[in-house]
A and B are shown apart, each in its own frame.
Chain A
Amino acid sequence: MNSPARQSQVSTETFFEAITGRYLHLTLRGRPHRVYVEEAGAGVPLLCLHTAGADTRQYRALMNDPEILARHRVVAFDLPWHGKSSPPAGWRDEAYALTTQDYAEAVLAVADALALDRPIVMGCSIGGRMVLHLALKHAERFGAAIGLQSGAHVEPYYDLEWLDRPDVHGGEVCAGIVSGLVGPGSPDEHRWETLWHYMQSGPGVFKGDLHFYTADGDIRQRVGDIDTTRCPLWLLTGEFDYSCTPQDTEYLAQRIPGAQWQIMQGMGHFPMSEDPERFLAYLRPVLASATKACNRSATGAVS
């Protein structure tokens, strides 16, 4: 199961991917923002949320899978401060700290701007936590929800101050913190691309995301109120994740009636980017079920 790191096949062809990227201007928390959005495919919309300190590139394999693109309009966006999205004007004089309200507003604003009609929302890590908040507070906006590495809460297990110090290289330490969260058997190519995303994050952004992850976004007391008849919920978690652990996901499954869950063998905290081939094998049946649930709820079969 925990095999040595594999090498993936590298194409030598010259080609363009199906993904297109655009910059979306919108107002968040009363301030103008420039947000980078990618999409590919057509069909049932699938809105993807990246992990803390990373960006949409984590979904590159999903957004290049012909089978998924034939059935889904796959959309991902870089949260403000992340990837190719800018921080708001005046950022130099403020500390970045993601709140539940900030995050939910960004997801809903992008969904509105792109006219996504009750998309399936899928998020990983902080995105996996946000999926729970959205299913709880905005069930009517989403046809279904898929939480990757979802947990209701995590206590910090290291001093977060290390993530944002002038005397420590931010990219090095962020990648160092998360490197063990990649499954040991994941292909080297994908492991190091996943870590590269962390190495490129802006100073203090990963730490600011962890404000939501470790403090503001604690949803332990409310997860039992998630109504999966309104927003069906699937949870997929990697066996080697020690951040959102399999036990954290089991905790959710025991408290959310109707939630379906599975532990992904050999995988870690970044399933969609660390080992896309293995992840897609787990995701395909979930996506098929979520699409059926979307269709049923859209026609009123699920009230």
Chain B
Amino acid sequence: MPYDDFLTEGLAAAVNRQDRLVWRGRHLHTRFLLENGPTAHLISIDAGQVRAVRRGPFVMPHWQFALRAGAEDWAQFWSPDPKPGYHDLMALIRYKRLRAEGDLHPFMSHLLYFKDVLACPRQTGSQP
């Protein structure tokens, strides 16, 4: 399944079935933009559960923070066996492959949570 399809069709179930992951996000309510190359997704989180994922294009979208990376970089990150430098969100940031923008409080205060949420496409073995 292409990664963009997984995000819209599979991410919510992949996150919401992990009770402990949802529990860790129990105080989190946010909507963020995930930019996978040319394709944007608005991901809404309510008490740790992924409530909705909408795929762009958008007209005047509203989000609290944005994570933007190229499709090839996300594909490397989501591969089952990522190479050094592609294996972690902070590694992507370190090498300027991922840009984190906006009000980053939800992201930084729940960094371990978001690392697990955004690793879900990797665990499904989905392919672009």
A interface, CB within 8 angstroms of B: 2, 157-158, 162, 167-169, 172-173, 175-177, 179-181, 184, 239-240, 242-243
Q: Quick one: which of B75-89 are within 8 Å of A by CB?
A: 81-85, 87-89
Given A179-B115, A242-B84, CB of A173 within 8 Å of CB of B109: yes
Nearest Cβ on chain A to B42's Cβ, whole angstroms: 23
Contact of A180 with B109 in the complex, beta carbons under 8 Å: no
- Smallest CB-CB separation from B112: which chain A residue? A176
Indicate whether B58 reaches chain A with its CB closer than 8 angstroms: no
Check A242/B94 contact, CB under 8 A, given A2-B81, A180-B88, A180-B89: yes
| Inter-chain contact A172/B111, CB cutoff 8 Å | yes
A242–B90 touching, CB < 8 Å: yes
Q: Give how many B residues have a beta carbon under 8 Å from the other chain's beta carbons.
A: 21
Whether the Cβ atoms of A168 and B109 lie closer than 8 Å is yes
Instruction: Name the A residues within 8 Å of B90 (CB-CB).
Output: 157-158, 177, 179-181, 242
Q: Chain B residues with Cβ under 8 A from A181's Cβ?
A: 88, 90
The docked-state distance in angstroms from the alpha carbon of A158 to that of B88 is 14
Residue of A nearest to B89 (CB): A180
The complex places the Cα of A197 from the Cα of B46 at a distance, in Å, of 30
Q: Once the chains bind, are B93 and A157 in contact (CB under 8 Å)?
A: yes
Residue from B90, B104, B115 with most neighbouring chain A CB atoms (10 Å)? B90
- Could you tell me if B91 and A180 are in contact, using CB atoms closer than 8 angstroms? yes
Q: Chain A contacts of B59 at CB under 8 A?
A: none
From the candidates B82, B83, B84, B108, name the one contacting A168 in the complex (CB within 8 A).
Answer: B108
Distance from A175 Cβ to chain B, minimum over Cβ atoms (Å): 6
- B62 interface hit (Cβ, 8 Å): no
Contact A176 B81 (CB under 8 A): no
What's the nearest-Cβ distance from chain A to residue B20, in Å? 13
Contact B91 A242 (CB under 8 A): yes
For the complex, what is the distance from the CA of A209 to the CA of B64, rounded to whole Å?
Answer: 31
Q: Say how far A156's CB is from chain B's closest CB, in angstroms.
A: 10
